[in-house]
Amino acid sequence: MTTQNVTISAFSGGSFSAYLAIPDTQPCAGIVLIQEILGVNDNMRQTADAYAREGYLVLVPDLYWRLKPGIELDPEKQDHWAQAFELLKALDIDNGVEDLKASLSFLRQYPSSTGKVGSVGFCLGGKLAYFMATRSDADANVSYYGVEIDQNLAEATKIQKPLILHMAANDEYVSPSAQTTIQQGLKDNPLVTIYRYEGVSHGFSRINSSAYRKEAAELAGDRTLAFLKQHLGSGSKV
């Protein structure tokens, strides 16, 4: 596996950076890995590397580039969370989705790509992975503890490709009533699969953090890999 930073042209003009993890064996399917509110930090890079070791070409775009490029915040530092929430408030979600669609295009056109590309996102990225399902032609999408999905269920009619939602039962940012709303709103959609993990909170799959819960994270990870293999192909390990 090799890694590098690449530059992607935004559809609206300008360009932004992204972390790219490239598997040793090619050609390969791609994953747009979507950041939490903490930016493209060590957690996101390590997650990208793990998917690359499974044979996927993985791109982690910097969604804060219009506000402040190169943000990397530490989930274990409380003052970093305050900065993260300020950035979240300032982020234009629609621009973020367009940048993800540009990232999708980048991966599809990458020389070693099979053309099959999905998205996997966490927290803010989980919300944006839902929007990738409703607003893009990504081949498969995975949302980990996505926020505010209950407020955007009107878009669910636009889902054309398979979507997984991993929900934490004790999520402090997605209330039990919001989770019920999501489950009720999507239960009749055959393209959507919802997994709910009891006894865990927001961020349960965030490696190297106090929120990490091994059993739930590994179960969600196994389900995600099986889903990606089904809909994208098994990376480059065919």
pLDDT recorded at residue 130: 98
Percentage of residues in the chain having pLDDT higher than 70: 98
Measured distance CA(201)–CA(66) in Å, rounded: 30
Confidence band of 237 (pLDDT split at 50, 70, 90): very low
Domain ranges of the chain: 2-232
pLDDT recorded at residue 25: 87
pLDDT tens-digit map of 76-104: 999 999 999 999 999 999 999 999 999 99
Chain mean pLDDT for the chain: 96
pLDDT tens-digit map of 7-23: 999 999 999 999 999 99
Straight-line distance from the first to the last Cα atom of the chain, in angstroms, rounded to the nearest whole number: 17
User: Is 202 among the residues known to form the active site?
Assistant: yes
Q: How far is CA 221 from the centre of its chain?
A: 13
pLDDT tens-digit map of 98-136: 999 999 999 999 999 999 999 999 999 999 999 999 999
**Candidates 62, 139, 150, 171; catalytic one:** 171
Q: Using an 8 Å Cβ cutoff, are 103 and 136 in contact? A: no
| Domain 2-232 coded CATH 3.40.50.1820 | yes
**Candidates 62, 99, 150, 202; catalytic one:** 202
pLDDT for residue 238 is more than 60: no
Across the range 181-190, mean pLDDT stands at 97
pLDDT for residue 236 is more than 60: no
Only one residue has tokens 């060590």, namely 42
